[in-house]
Amino acid sequence: MSKIILIGFMGSGKTTIGNELSEKSKFALVDTDKYIEQQQQTTISEIFASKGEEEFRLMETKALKELLEASEDMIISTGGGLVIKQENRELLKNAGTTVYLKASADTIYDRVKDDTKRPLLQCEDPKLKIISLMEQRKDYYTDAANIVVDTDKKSVEEIACEILSKIK
Ligand code: S3P
């Protein structure tokens, strides 16, 4: 049983890189947000609006545990805030291969500035919010990861190959 787990800030490329890795490895790509949306039959934005972030974080831990317990090989793309909880960081560290996709605040902002589906960034100054959340979380990503990959100015292909070469 083999799992590659992608962690990193919103907009760090987890889904894009996950798709590329899935093609190369033939492992299925599973996304914790999509898994939660399927289970709850609603969107992440709606969960934040109706139940609040706290409740969403509980759903995230449950989703992570269920996916890690699954017997299939898979690539797991995780929500950017999953590392906030120590319990999740422990799970990630011991899960197999956890890859932190590192990106600068400028890169992240460029990628997410027109996005309306990320509730935490629907605020007056999303750039400032990105900088402040990144500051709070950066050590958590490093702590939970077995492999760190700098993604700024690299192509999807380059990043995927770098990850696979570091795993082998
Ligand atoms: C969040 C990241 C989102 C999603 C939710 C909260 C976060 O996932 O889980 O909006 O706290 O950083 P992505 O990283 O896939 O955007």
pTM (two decimals): 0.97
Quote the mean pLDDT of the chain.
Answer: 96
Ligand 1 atom with the shortest distance to the CA of 133? 12
For the stretch 94-120, what's the b/e string if a residue is b when 16 or more beta carbons lie within 10 angstroms of its beta carbon? ebbbbbbbbbbbebbbebbeeeeebbe
Which residues line the pocket of ligand 1, CB cutoff 6 A? 10, 14, 33, 44, 79-81, 118-120
Ligand 1 atom with the shortest distance to the CA of 117? 10
What digits encode the pLDDT tens for the residues 52-80?
Answer: 999 999 999 999 999 999 999 999 999 99
Crossing angle of helices 53-69 and 44-51, rounded to 10°: 130
For residue 113, which phi and psi values (nearest 5 degrees)?
-60, -25
What digits encode the pLDDT tens for the residues 123-137?
Answer: 999 999 999 999 999
Q: Give the full edge-to-edge strand order of the sheet including 74-77.
A: 28-31, 74-77, 3-7, 97-102, 147-150
